[in-house]
Amino acid sequence: MTAFLFGVLSSLAASAIVLVLGLLRGSRPLWWLVAACSWCTGTGLGRVYRHQSSAEQDIARDLSRARWIKVMAGRGNVLTREVFSPLWSGELSPESVQVLLPDPGTRDDSWLDRRSRDVCRFDPGFTPELLRRQVRTNMDYLAHVAGTQRNFALRSFNLPNTCRVIATDRAAYITFYSNSAHGRNSPCLYARAPGLLYSIALQQFDAAWTDSSPALPVPQP
């Protein structure tokens, strides 16, 4: 029993060390070490991007192979960039696309308001209503371009705005939001399916989806 516990603790310690190295360096040569340790621990962690924006090229590649796509974001700017443009142009046709964005219409100290106050502390150009307007703008964008997807669903949620998840049937990209930085400047984890982190990402999305409500209607093409 002692040997078993020692082995488990050693594996966890090794994973923690490699994760820290990945965050500090964010370089591709270290990714094979991250993958090796995740295989030993069953976490499924394949890569660590120092900044969320560094993952966009790989996200685009995984979207092109996806059977289904799930996105939960704090404001949804990535959905309007080139990463998702093949999807909205009709070049890609997955079986289903589910998108969750914070509810911009909820008041009375919503989680969107709490996230907005956090950002105001480190970004002097960020006003309390700016995040709400940005979410509305991105919802309007999706309402117009997503008509190319027959199985597209856009819903809004009012839950702790703590992470961004972009998941497919193959992998998930997870960004945990910081109280002192924009999401684009936060580390992003790549989790393969199957694996512990991948399962956690899907559970987080499914829980938010269950408690969400329909957002803006999507016009038919």
- Taking only the tens of pLDDT, the chain with its 221 residues reads 444 343 433 444 444 444 554 444 444 545 555 555 555 555 778 888 988 889 999 999 999 999 999 999 999 999 999 999 999 998 999 999 999 999 988 777 788 888 888 888 888 888 778 888 999 999 999 988 877 778 899 999 998 888 999 999 999 999 988 776 777 778 999 999 989 999 999 999 999 999 999 885 544 44
Report the distance separating Cα 172 and Cα 201, nearest Å: 7
Helix (H, G, I), strand (E, B) or coil at 220: coil
The pLDDT value given to residue 216: 54
Alpha helices, DSSP H, located in 66-189: 85-88, 111-122, 130-145
* The pTM of the whole model exceeds 0.75: yes
pLDDT at 91: 92
pLDDT at 175: 93
pLDDT at 6: 38
- Residues 201, 167: contact at Cβ < 8 Å? yes
* One-letter identity of residue 203: Q
Q: Where are the beta strands (DSSP E) in 19-116?
A: 45-49, 68-72, 96-102
Q: Give Cβ neighbours of residue 199 (< 8 Å, ≥ 6 apart).
A: none
Report whether 21 contacts 33 (CB < 8 A): yes
CA distance 50 to 212: 31
